[in-house]
Amino acid sequence: MLEDVLRRLLRSAFGGGSDISAANPLPVTSEAAIENGTATGGSDVTLEDNTKDWEVNMWADAILQVEIGGVEYHRTITSNTDDTLTFNALPALVVVSDEDKYSIRRVVSPFNPLSRVIIQSTAEVAGVDILPAALAPINVPCLFRIQVAFDAAGVFSTTVTNGGVPVTTEFNHGVVLVADSLFMKGEFRP
């Protein structure tokens, strides 16, 4: 009975189609592809898509699913440029070609963050976005967690856009945060 309750809870968190059992205790990849397209070229270790303009290495450690000659291959992406994915080698004589369809998925585990930005020892300007790019959840529901540490006292706020609506929250209710302290804010998003 308890196992059934836990299975239902995990399926509600990771998606109804998740196979959660003793043999497969947690989902392996995100339920839906977070990127897809058609290759414009490649090799046994690269996939090129000249219609893309990705952030460098944004797909590192993600899973590439590519269909070549009617066979589906899955490979871990090791790095990427603005339009090329580099991944673990395909079998001998198998290469990515023009018009091969692909998708990208992320490994999903409740023990690892889905997106992470670490900025240390920098002086930030008030009102300026400190992230190099927007963070987006791979699964819903999700938990956004923001952790900041200060070496000087000050006010810190975050703006999170959910469903197109920006919501600004001030840490510690807008009260000046104490110097040399660590503050954390978690927010559940359905």
- List the chain domain ranges: 26-105, 113-190
- Cβ of 131: how many Cβ atoms within 10 Å? 9
DSSP 8-state symbol, 100: -
Predicted pLDDT of residue 98: 96
- The two tokens of residue 94 are 């198998």
The gap between the terminal CA atoms of the chain, to the nearest Å, is: 26
d(CA 134, CA 93): 39
**How far is Cα of residue 87 from the mean position of the Cα atoms in its chain?**
17
Query: What is the mean pLDDT of the segment spanning 115-120?
Result: 56
Confidence of residue 122 (pLDDT cuts 50, 70, 90): low
Q: What tens digit of pLDDT does each residue of 35-87 get?
A: 899 999 999 999 999 999 988 998 888 889 999 999 999 999 999 999 999 99
CA atoms within 13 A on the CB side of 115: 16
Q: Closest by alpha carbon to 103, among 141, 45, 77, 64?
A: 64
CATH class of the region 26-105: mainly beta
